[in-house]
Structure formats: structure tokens, C-alpha cells
Amino acid sequence: MKVKVIVTLKNGVLDPQGKAIQQTLNGMTFENVSEVRQGKFFDIEVNESDENKAKSQVEEMCKKLLANLVIEDYKIL
Amino acid sequence: MKSSVIIFPGSNCDRDMDVALKKFGFENQMVWHNDANIPKSDLIVLPGGFSYGDYLRCGSIAGKSRIIKSVVNFANSGGLVLGICNGFQILTETGLLPGILQQNKYLNFICKNVFVKIKNKENKYFKNINKEVLELHIAHNEGNYFCSKEELKSIEDNGQIAVTYCDDKGNDDEYNNPNGAIKNIAGIFNKEKNILGMMPHPERMIDPFLSGEDGSLFFENLIGNV
């Protein structure tokens, strides 16, 4: 089954790319954009039919590799 | 004295490091990332470069490579482990050093000479260097050191800050911070001070025909203390 994961920077961690995107959007007439936070999206195919098992495996993957918990949070969709 | 430089796919400062170590008397050997064991060494160096193309996060893939278990065991038994630039990023990703190196604050790749202030000399890396400020070279896109407030306090309390970015007089204030690193941190130790990670490249400053010789002071001191 397919498991989707989003990894984002934690609140309070500086996101210079997000900031640059926000400023560019502001300059493109989207003046009402007050913040952009950039993240990563993972589409993971796990050879496992049990959804709970697959998700708990992906959770391990997030903790061990996909996210660095010093600055990032993960969310399994 | 024996040293080992680990080569990852994408390392590009491994040969410079090999030249530097040999110049100052180390018997150096190159070790491939997919090897299981490291030959007997007094010092292990993780060199600069772009291991695994900097995929996912800088140093994250290298931090899971086969050789890393041996590096971690060596470090945990008190062995000297030095990570320069990408090597520093790998050390944070393995958890051997706290914090993480984020993208530079102004999103630019920085390649220039900088001054760094030595903050702690009670360790083998800086013990007998009789200068407070060194001129070294940096070349990185992700050198913006970050850690949580709690971690920062613990790093400061334990004297783990090794070097900070400064001017030629040693002022390590925000005006002399090239990449946004918290507290101008350019390099840190683990608690025991046997592991050092730093963004500046001492191996690039070992010859007057290059841009300077302060890197020589670093290696001369190191071989004397290993």
C-alpha cells in the first residue's frame, strides 16, 4: 500500500526558502501572502497490506531518516 | 600516527585532506564508505564534499552508510573523529554531535576566507596552538548551525563550542556571521571533546602558494597531540 508523508520545519525554525518564496509572491501581486513554509512530500510504496503495520513502519522511517527531529516535524497522511 | 579518511560517493575534499595529513606526518589511509571496518587508526576524518549529492538533507544518507557503525563505535570508545564541512553535517546527522547545519541564511553558497576564534583549547584539536584567531576557508551552502535553546545551553555549559566566526581581531558578533549560524558557531565538540565538527577547511590552508598557512597550525598541533 501507499503511504504519504509530509515533512515540515518546526514552528520557530528559520525557513529562508519559504521567506524568499513569500517575498516573490508578494511581488507578483499576491500581496496578501503573509507567510510561506516549505516542506517535503514522500510517496512511499510499502509491500504490506495491513494499513496499521505499514504506517507504523513509515513512522520508524520518519524518525530514523526522513525527518531530522531537531528541526523538522512529520505527518503521515 | 595513523589516520583514516572516509570516502563517500560525492566527497571532494578527501584527497586534499590526505595530502594535508601526510604533509604533517600522519600515515594516512583512504577507506571506502561501503567497507565494514576501519583499519587501525588514531584519527578518523570525514571529509568535505557533497556525499550522496546532498540528497534528502546534507549528510543524512552518508550518516546511514555501512562504514558509519565503525565510526560511531570508534568515537564512542574515545577515538578522535574530525568532520570537516560535509563531514560536520554527517556527524550531526549520525547524532554524534548535537544540532544540525541548515541552509545559509541568505540562500547563497559562500566560498571565501574567514577568521575563526578558538573558544576552547582544553582538547587535542587546539591545545597548543598559540593563536586565538585563525584564518581558514569556508565553502558551503548549508553551514547555518542550529540547535534548540536547551541544547545550546548544554553546549555552552559543557564548553562544546570549538570555533566561532569573527573578524581578524576576534570579534565574534553578528556582523562577522557569514551564514546565520546560531552564536556564530563554526565548529563544535561532543561533550568528551574527542569529536570535532567544523565548517572551515584547515586542509585548504597549508601552503603559502594557496591562500594561507593557518591550517598548518591546526595539523601541526593535531599530530603533536594524537
Choosing from B85, B142, B147, B166, the catalytic residue is: B85
| Percent of chain B clearing pLDDT 70 (strictly above) | 100
B147–chain A Cβ distance below 8 A for any pair: yes
Domain extent listing, chain B: 2-225
Instruction: Using CA coordinates, name the residue in chain A closest to B64.
Output: A65
CB B62 within 8 A of CB B51: yes
Is residue B85 annotated as part of the catalytic site, yes or no?
Answer: yes
How far apart are the CA of B79 and the nearest CA of chain A, in angstroms?
25
Does the pLDDT of residue B209 top 90, yes or no? no
More confident residue, B208 or B78: B78
For B21-50, how does the pLDDT look when each residue is reduced to its tens digit (9 = 90+)? 999 999 999 999 999 999 999 999 999 999
Helices (H), B24-78: 68-76
Domains along the sequence of chain A with CATH:
2-76 (3.30.1280.10)
Find the mean pLDDT for residues B158-170. Answer: 98
Please identify among residues 166-185 of chain B the ones whose CB lies closer than 8 Å to any CB of chain A: 180
Q: Rounded distance, CA B88 to CA B80, Å?
A: 14
Tell me which amino acid residue A48 is: E
pLDDT value of position B158? 97
Does the pLDDT of residue B187 top 90, yes or no? yes
| Of B156, B150, B146, B173, residue with least CA distance to B120 | B156
Binary contact (B60, A65; C-beta < 8 A): yes
Q: Nearest by CB to A13, which of B92, B107, B146?
A: B146
Q: What would the CATH number be for the domain defined by B2-225?
A: 3.40.50.880
Tell me which amino acid residue A35 is: E
Does the pLDDT of residue B210 top 90, yes or no? no
- Numbered residues of chain A with Cβ closer than 8 Å to any chain B Cβ: 13-14, 16-17, 20, 65-66, 68, 70-71
Strand ranges (E), B58-205 = 80-84, 100-102, 110-118, 133-140, 144-146, 161-166, 185-189, 195-198
Residue B169 CA: distances (Å) to CA of A48, B135, B172? 61, 11, 9
From chain B, the residues in CB contact with A66 under 8 A are 56
Q: What is the CA radius of gyration of chain B?
A: 16
pLDDT value of position B14? 97
Strand partners, B3: B28, B43
| DSSP string across B205-216 | SSBTTTTBSHHH
For B108-136, how does the pLDDT look when each residue is reduced to its tens digit (9 = 90+)? 999 999 999 999 999 999 999 999 999 99
Does the pLDDT of residue B226 top 90, yes or no? no
Q: Which of A5, A37, A44, A71 to mutate to test the interface with B (most CBs of B within 10 A)?
A: A71
The long-range contacts involving B29-32, CB below 8 angstroms and separated by at least 24 positions, are: B29/B2, B29/B3, B29/B4, B29/B5, B30/B4, B30/B5, B31/B4, B31/B5, B31/B6, B31/B7, B31/B67, B32/B6, B32/B7, B32/B67
Q: Rounded distance, CA A16 to CA B105, Å?
A: 6
Strand partners, B140: B110
For B69-123, how does the pLDDT look when each residue is reduced to its tens digit (9 = 90+)? 999 999 999 999 999 999 999 999 999 999 999 999 998 999 999 999 999 999 9
DSSP three-state, residue B86: helix
B102–chain A Cβ distance below 8 A for any pair: yes
Contacts of A64 by beta carbon, 8 Å cutoff, 6+ apart: none
pLDDT tens for each residue of chain A, 77 residues long: 999 999 999 998 888 889 989 999 999 999 999 999 999 999 999 999 999 999 999 999 999 999 999 999 999 99
